[in-house]
Structure 1
Amino acid sequence: MNARRAIQIFFVIAGLALLTGCSEKVSVDETSLVAGQRDEVYGKHEISAKGSLSESQPAEAINFGITPWDEPEKLKRMYAPFIAHLSERLKLRVRFVVAQEYNDLVADLKRGIIHIAAFSPGAYSDALDQGIEREAVYVASTQDSGNSHYRGLVISRPQYKSLKELKGKTFAFVEKGSSSGYKFPLALLLQKGIDPYRYFSKVFYLGSHAHVVEAVANGKADAGATWDGYAEKTPAYRDKKIATLFKTQPIPYDAILVYRKKGPQFARKVQQHLLSIDTKTTTASGEKVLNKELGFPYTGYVVHKPQVYDVVRQTSRLVKNYKPPKE
């Protein structure tokens, strides 16, 4: 979409602690940081604004963007300590941006609206195909408990034991930019001779992994595509409201890129910061930076060789060649 869209945003101020349950608004001499709109300040520690980003916005903050793999408010909570610590270390204000759609992050990074971007592997593959190396440099990838890969899942209601039983039922994907929520499960279905548009009675695109899991758990969809690191930690999985039918091949975790025009020194500083943090790292106020209790899915960062993402690019190209029937 060419018109700028509404994006969930929040600010963290360097040197200040995180918001700790205080909801009282106080005044602050901070104005017009986003689309000319005044910031809203909650307590003393968090600045939040709603509006559309503009290329002409004042350069008073570094913009850290991610793909929308979960609900924006959930992402905001889980990333709050991470962004606070990044702000402390860079000694800069950091604005957290959740892209409305996966591919929006590519456009925003190329235009310099986003300065640091955490790409899901599918979105990173799309970015590489669009020549993102000209505008951004790779600095690190996420990992979880020493594992650099995760898997996509096809989940279903527990009464379904096989794909054969799902013929004529409904199926939910995340969106077409998602690796585990679309590309890898679709590739696996195609390899099994299943065209989802012809095999299932209805195919949905629900926008986030949370929506897919909720839809299947609540019976609004019979099956869906998501990722193991999310689905297997949900109450729906623990309560056996959803079950795993099969898993995809391993998928490398998210890639972190830095806008080239911020300069090589800035990119190195971001990389050094990411590689230095682990599950024991805390903010100045004592909160865990990588906090699993808040839902943060990773335990650290690592640098990969470019070839690690080849499997994602190959799968993305396979999926791009698939032409769904016109509805």
Structure 2
Amino acid sequence: MLKRTLALAVGLTLSLSTLLAQAADTLKVSAIPDEAPTELLRKFQPLGSYLEQQLGMKVEFVPVSDYPAVVEALATDRIDMAWLGGFTFVQARLKTGNAIPLVQREQDAQFTSKFITADPNVKSLADLKGKTFAFGSVSSTSGSLMPRYFMLQDGIKPETFFSRVGYSGAHDATVAWVQAGKVDAGVLNASVWEKLVKAGKVDTNKVKVFATTPAYYDYNWTVRGTLDPALAAKIKAAFLALDPANPEQKAILDLQAASRFIETKPENYKGIEEAARAADLLK
């Protein structure tokens, strides 16, 4: 009986060790759900395959239900890396104390948001007084926080300036709301707007951009602070090595709406933290 018990214990230990080893050999990656889940997965798959080749390990995409979920997943080590907006990074950094931003797209150092409308009479934000308006997710940097911050700087408090404020939940949903006439105007990030226009998913004879925000830092790839530093360094090197002169790698960059990736650092997002505190969005 004792031998059987010991054998069972050893077997369980080996099984657990095997599971832990398999988990350690898998890089779990997620992203804020700022677009449809199928679109996020489509964009990630070629990048995931590239990272598998560069890192010599399995890379798994883990979808999340909302913005807070990706922050919680990083904080509890359920994922290793995530594509975050600037505000979501600030939230993750404050919650974990050690989340590390590795890289950003070149344009993320000078990011903007686009205000759109299907009303030909709207030429500026002032023309929207008393009309309906849509942000993206309440946790979105480019679809909510920074546009709101700049509006407040111009003396526009959305909740009193507009007759109704809605939250579509995602940038592509904001465009759909405006195009369908569900709201008079909305705001979304410039990258998604340009992608949707290029893909012919926006009727530009109907929907137009009438204003653009000043520039700010936005998206980045962040890893959990407890990730092996050597692995984090390899991940960063893999992103920085993506070369637009290589056709296969250019296809990966194009799906990420990136000309190339560059290094980033926590200090780049201080302005977003200040905007969030000014909007009373950080406790």
2:232 paired residue among 260, 267, 276: 267
Secondary structure in 2 matching 1:197: helix
CA RMSD of aligned residues (A): 2.4
Equivalences for residues 17-56 of structure 1 within 5 A? none
Q: Tell me which residue corresponds to 1:325.
A: none
Q: Which residue of 2 aligns with 1:313?
A: 273
User: 2:216 maps to what in 1?
Assistant: 251
**Is residue 64 of structure 1 aligned with residue 29 of structure 2?**
yes
Quote the offset at 1:72 in angstroms.
Answer: 1.0
User: Which residue is equivalent to 1:138?
Assistant: 101
Structure 2 match to 1:157: 118
Q: Which residue of 1 aligns with 2:160?
A: 198
Deviations 1:206-265 (A, max 9, x none): 111000011112211111110112213423656232222322221223222222333111
Greater relative CO (CA pairs within 8 A, separation 6+): 2
AA partner of residue 125 (structure 2): L
Contact 1:184-1:315 at 8 Å conserved across structures: yes
The answer to whether the 8 A contact 1:174-1:209 is kept is yes
Q: Does the 8 Å CA contact 1:217/1:236 hold for their aligned counterparts? A: no
Q: Name the CA distance, whole Å, in 2 between partners of 1:126 and 1:252.
A: 15
1:217 aligns with 2:179: yes
What secondary structure sits across from 1:103 in the alignment?
helix
The structure in which a higher percent of residues are helix is 2
TM-fit CA distance, 1:131: 3.9
Equivalent in the alignment of 1:18: none
Greater Rg over alpha carbons, structure? 2
Whether contact under 8 Å (1:175, 1:206) holds in the other structure is yes
Residues 317 and 278 of structure 1: CA distance in aligned 2, closer, same or farther (over 3 Å): farther
Structure 1 partner of 2:13: none
Matches within 5 A, 1:33-112: 59=23, 61-112=26-77
**Against the structure 1 CA distance between its residues 122 and 239, is the aligned structure 2 distance closer, same or farther, given a 3 Å change threshold?**
same
Match of 1:148 in 2: 109
Q: Which runs of 5+ in 2 are unaligned?
A: 1-19
Using the alignment, how far apart are the partners of 1:296 and 1:137 within structure 2? 20
Change (3 A) 1:321 1:119: closer
For 2:223, give the aligned amino acid: V
Deviation for aligned residue 1:184: 0.9
Q: Is the CA contact 1:78–1:296 (under 8 Å) kept in the aligned structure 2?
A: yes
> Which of 103, 125, 145 lines up with 1:183 in the alignment?
145
**AA matched with 2:270:** D
Scaled by the length of structure 2, the TM-score of the pair is 0.82
User: Which secondary structure does the structure 1 equivalent of 2:88 belong to?
Assistant: helix
Q: Which runs of 5+ in 1 are unaligned?
A: 1-55, 323-327
Deviation at 1:113, TM superposition (A): 0.6
Aligned to 1:19: none
What TM-score do you get using the length of structure 1 for normalisation? 0.72
Paired residues, number: 258
**Structure having the larger proportion of residues in strand:** 1
